[in-house]
Structure 1
Amino acid sequence: MVATDATAWDEEYDTIGVGSGIGGLSTAITAAERGAKVLVIEKFELLGGVSALSSGQLWPGPNHLAEAAGIHDSPEKAKEYIDYLGQGHASPYVRDQYLIRSKECLKYFDEKIGIHMSVIRGLPDYYYPEVPGSAPEGRYIETIPFPAAKLGEYQKKVLTSPYGAYYSYTTSNEWVEMQAGGESLGSCIRRHLANDERCAGAGMAAAQVSAALQRGVEFRTSTEVVELVTEDSRVVGVIARDSSGTRRIRARLGVMLATGGYDWNRRFVGSYDALPVAGTMALPTVTGDHIVLASKVGAIPLPSRAPGQSPIFVGYKVPTEKIYGRGPAYRLWVPGRPHSIIVNFKGKRFSQDSFYPDVVTKVSRFDGQEDGMVNWPAWIVFDQRMLNSRGMPPAPPGQPLPAGMAIEADTIPELAVKAGIEPKGLQTTIERFNKMCSDGVDEDFKSGSNPWGRLMAGDPGLKNPNMAPISQAPFYAVRLERVTMGVPTAGLPIDGDGRVENSAGGIVPGLYAAGNSAAWGDWGGGFNSGIAGMRGLLYGYRAALHMTAT
């Protein structure tokens, strides 16, 4: 679509951000700080995007906050870690730029913009200490709790998680401290709720929206971008649609696509992630708009990794629950809770089921010589003590599970029959698992050997934080589901300045992408919590610098 003269435009801005997650807001704040007139268009009714629903962790590698805390790190070790996880899929140059620029970007937002952050003490890299270059702490960053009252009239216009206060009103630092005997999680949540202090991804979103408003950024919610406008192959604006109709809006310097992944687009999930069936915890507006829009100007999505390497999580279905008016809802499961295991249809354990990346990899295993998907379907099997001590959201500890969510029985063989699991296999597996719990050593899959898994799901009072017997009736089985959370296999290819590349490897002038809309050329096949958020912050920042430099 071509705009021929200025009268064709209904409005004009310097930059337009499509999406209000961490990538879109990073672009908006940086551009506005540098004097640009900025508009952010959000398809959902509230601001913050999928990143507002996340843990809010950032993984920049070596950074100024860790240095200030006396934690020594080196770029060489961080490169070694990324290269090991990337397994050859990452570009060494883009990887190096990620580490250099992330440190710069983090310092910019912390010190220049005033979005104050802290290092997460005691939280190790996913694969510490097994993977070369991994670190015991210092590489995770989070925003400090943000008083939402500072948002004024926007206090109710920024997302918090609909999945419970835990996601938006507690910090990772508090979680780590709790595991070491500090303040209880419930106490932290009550304290933050009382003051509406947003934490985690919700805290970052609130802090970013506040920073954007201070710099004159304009927001449009419940508005969909339906077309990119081009002149001589350059993207020069958008066509946006809301309840009142469509408007042609010019972007003099550039358009940022930061619409997230494509979780609610079944065709894209099936094609790119190789998942014919999957649930999601993403916003219902995350439908792959960046792919549709960019494809019309010559850019096509590229996979960053094999689908089996994507951080598509495991979770479960809650048949009676509706989120965003849609049901059934899906919930994330963090494996490794005491008194629980994960088994396949033969009733056998097949992974280090205290560490979700290992579970995710193993459920994807296909074997043409045996049974096809040898570990799928799979079930979470647990006893009453797990429910009493931990609960299973949306059910709090000690409360019954929602109807239809679990299969329940008084004996393990009866449970297996009801669930469709091989009874003898499940009985044998649980007997062996319970026996190993007495010594606290998992001789089969090393459950509890990963520090990250112990910290996130374990009980520090046990011999093995992730192992406790499954022996108190009634017993339960919940079928495992694949659950997407906005971090996809494919995205738009970009360069180090966030510029979108076309199918021939050239640049689409005027078009940028960040966050989960952009392919992972810097990390390739690897994943570690905090990368998605950091990439959003980084490439939004870099894109704004590039736009405003012209």
Structure 2
Amino acid sequence: MKIEEFDLVIAGTGAAGMSAALRAEALGAKIALVEKSAYVGGTTAISGGVVWAPNNHHQRAAGHEEDRDLLRAYMKRVSQDRGDESLFDTYIDELPRAIRFLEERAEFEFTPLLDYPDYQPELIGGREGGRSLDNPLYDTKRLGVDRPLLRRNLVNGALPLTIGEAMAYRVFSNPFGLPYQEIVQRGKDGIVHGGAALIGRMLERLLRAGIRPRLGAAAKRLHLEDGGVGGVYVEEGGETLLLKARRGVVLASDGFEWDPELCAQFLPIEMKHPLSPPHNTGDALRMAHSVGAALRTMNEAWWTPAVQIPGETVDDIAPLHRGEFSIRCLPHAIIVNRRGRRFTNEARNYNDMTKPFFDQDSSRHEPRNLPAFLIADGQYLERYIFLAASRGRPIPEFIPHADSLEALAEKTGIDPTGLVDEVARWNEFSARGEDPDFGRGSSAFDRFYGDPEAPVHPNFGPISRPPFMALPIHPGAMGTKGGPRVDRHARVLSVEGEPIKGLYAAGNAQGSIFGAGYPGAGATIGQAILFGTLAAEHAAG
């Protein structure tokens, strides 16, 4: 067996792995950076690239100071008392420092999203803006011949916009008002946005330092020596080799949302629609578990409603599932189950609005709210885009549609009486802009994704004009949250609570510190950047 020796071996090239690599390189460590797929970037590269970083220097410079006690109270409440409170202070204190290092090393600056609310801004300590950071567009021509290494966003990568620009243009509520010619030209010129832009900058800096990610190299098994982890066995090019690590191994590779066996074992619902790249099959979890790691948050994920356009694929090996972030929040649209009944606040943040999909009908012994459908009408089509349907074009056949609610119900198997009654009830709510059933529109976050020009309320509008449409909508996830417990240095802890020598974890390869909650846009990437950085500093410092 071929053996190679390094100071640090890092598995995964999302924000966690790339942050670890950047910090370790700056500390002079000899690094091996391995990636299971054929592209650099992991789930980060297909995300919006926002970072939830409360107490960051950009926020403070804009006059948005933090009250530490209120911030901790918010993190505790939003995690539903299931977060790792021992690491909340680490997040508050150390992530701003990690952000500064990343900006300096990759030679760019984040921009504070001063009007982007936390995901539960009305909770104690919640904010209506300032904690999430946007990153600028990136020109992939800077990567030269290595441009093809970067994973791209298959959903909206051809329309590169920063989050700030998308907010200014009101990309969801005013989709026909964008300067499409200019934006499309950006894409043709090699400009990327969001997570791909963030990863592109990190990749450029590593390549400049002589660190080239090893693609198609899957970390599968830990090597033990001297009472700890001394390396990792990697499958690369059809053979297994040992990458020895003098200072440690950083697991930053994946969650387990694409592994049916692990999902069935731990998650509360069958996972059929993960949004991440299909290589996230729990390799890091299995490795950590094999050496006695304590696990946490195994039954949770970064839940997201998902929709699908037939025929779209990821890496030519799996169906592409699109996160549904906007249609459901706008006027003239609701979500119903097969009984025709609403069951969630459609406009709430994607993590929390997905959880009612899990509700179990105890008498029927089946999920109460599956299948589910996103219902909209002709008024919606006049103003907005309904996935692949828009005004002036035929509605695609994969979206069931009809000239009456009764006919729509017959096509989809929805109970017609329930649907007609529920739409009538919704129309009454829309007339006064109030939802006594689920509180839609009551949060600043709900309204943020609504239409500020709607006559009554940003989230309300009647469903009354044909054609009527029913888009299947599913519970999905951007990634799982379960994994090994870590300490403030990102060291993996054993079931006895002691650090496992030489083993670190970060990102979705670690057990999330946020428990059942999702505090704000970019908490996934914030956790990844922080613990990737901390792992490298402890191992290579």
* Counterpart in the other structure of 1:3: none
* Counterpart in the other structure of 2:417: 424
**Displacement of 1:320:** 3.1
Question: CA, structure 1 residues 429+507, in 2 after alignment: closer, same or farther (shift >3 Å)?
Answer: same
Question: CA, structure 1 residues 185+525, in 2 after alignment: closer, same or farther (shift >3 Å)?
Answer: farther
TM-score if structure 2 supplies the norm length? Answer: 0.92
* Counterpart in the other structure of 1:92: 85
Residue pair 2:150, 2:200 contacting (<8 A) in 1 also: yes
* Counterpart in the other structure of 1:520: 512
Q: Tell me how far apart the structure 2 counterparts of residues 540 and 43 of structure 1 sit (CA, whole Å).
A: 18
**Displacement of 1:300:** 5.2
Percent of aligned positions that are identical: 27
Secondary structure of residue in 1 paired with 2:329: coil
Question: CA, structure 1 residues 504+35, in 2 after alignment: closer, same or farther (shift >3 Å)?
Answer: same
**Displacement of 1:398:** 4.8
**Displacement of 1:190:** 2.7
**Displacement of 1:364:** 1.8
1:531 aligns with 2:523: yes
Instruction: Map 1:256-335 onto structure 2 (within 5 A).
Output: 256-299=250-293, 301-303=295-297, 307=300, 310-326=301-317, 328-334=319-325, 335=328
Instruction: Map 1:364-443 onto structure 2 (within 5 A).
Output: 364-368=358-362, 373-394=367-388, 398-403=392-397, 405-443=398-436
Q: Tell me how far apart the structure 1 counterparts of residues 262 and 238 of structure 2 sit (CA, whole Å).
A: 30
Q: Deviations over 1:84-123 (max 9, x none)?
A: 1122222333111111111211122123542421111211
* Counterpart in the other structure of 1:133: 125
**Displacement of 1:358:** 4.2
Secondary structure of residue in 2 paired with 1:45: coil
Q: Tell me how far apart the structure 2 counterparts of residues 284 and 370 of structure 1 sit (CA, whole Å).
A: 33
Secondary structure of residue in 1 paired with 2:342: coil
Q: Tell me how far apart the structure 1 counterparts of residues 291 and 391 of structure 2 sit (CA, whole Å).
A: 52
Question: CA, structure 1 residues 378+289, in 2 after alignment: closer, same or farther (shift >3 Å)?
Answer: same
Question: CA, structure 1 residues 482+433, in 2 after alignment: closer, same or farther (shift >3 Å)?
Answer: same
Secondary structure of residue in 1 paired with 2:373: strand
**Displacement of 1:327:** 5.1
Secondary structure of residue in 1 paired with 2:17: helix
Q: Which runs of 5+ in 1 are unaligned?
A: 1-7
Q: Tell me how far apart the structure 1 counterparts of residues 310 and 412 of structure 2 sit (CA, whole Å).
A: 16
* Counterpart in the other structure of 2:207: 213
Secondary structure of residue in 2 paired with 1:436: helix
* Counterpart in the other structure of 1:5: none
Secondary structure of residue in 2 paired with 1:29: helix
Residue pair 1:62, 1:78 contacting (<8 A) in 2 also: no
The correspondence for 1:73, drawn from 48, 66, 86, is 66
Residue pair 1:498, 1:543 contacting (<8 A) in 2 also: yes
Question: CA, structure 1 residues 327+253, in 2 after alignment: closer, same or farther (shift >3 Å)?
Answer: closer
* Counterpart in the other structure of 1:508: 500
Secondary structure of residue in 1 paired with 2:414: coil
Residue pair 1:272, 1:489 contacting (<8 A) in 2 also: no
**Displacement of 1:337:** 2.4
State the superposition RMSD in angstroms.
2.4
Deviates more, 1:135-144 or 1:360-369: 360-369
User: Which residue identity is paired with 2:445?
Assistant: W
TM-score if structure 1 supplies the norm length? Answer: 0.91
Residue pair 1:115, 1:208 contacting (<8 A) in 2 also: no
Q: Tell me how far apart the structure 1 counterparts of residues 497 and 91 of structure 2 sit (CA, whole Å).
A: 20
Q: Deviations over 1:245-284 (max 9, x none)?
A: 2322221111111112112101111222222242122111
Question: CA, structure 1 residues 10+399, in 2 after alignment: closer, same or farther (shift >3 Å)?
Answer: farther
**Displacement of 1:426:** 0.8
Residue pair 2:454, 2:460 contacting (<8 A) in 1 also: no
Secondary structure of residue in 1 paired with 2:312: coil
Q: Aligned residues, how many?
A: 534
User: Which residue identity is paired with 1:349?
Assistant: R
Q: Deviations over 1:364-383 (max 9, x none)?
A: 22353687533333211112
Q: Which runs of 5+ in 2 are unaligned?
A: none
The correspondence for 1:123, drawn from 98, 116, 122, is 116
Q: Tell me how far apart the structure 2 counterparts of residues 242 and 460 of structure 1 sit (CA, whole Å).
A: 54
Secondary structure of residue in 1 paired with 2:470: strand
Residue pair 2:72, 2:88 contacting (<8 A) in 1 also: yes
Residue pair 2:252, 2:506 contacting (<8 A) in 1 also: yes
User: Which residue identity is paired with 2:307?
Assistant: Y
The correspondence for 1:186, drawn from 163, 168, 180, is 180
Secondary structure of residue in 1 paired with 2:308: strand
User: Which residue identity is paired with 2:21?
Assistant: A
Instruction: Map 1:214-253 onto structure 2 (within 5 A).
Output: 214-253=208-247
Secondary structure of residue in 2 paired with 1:280: coil
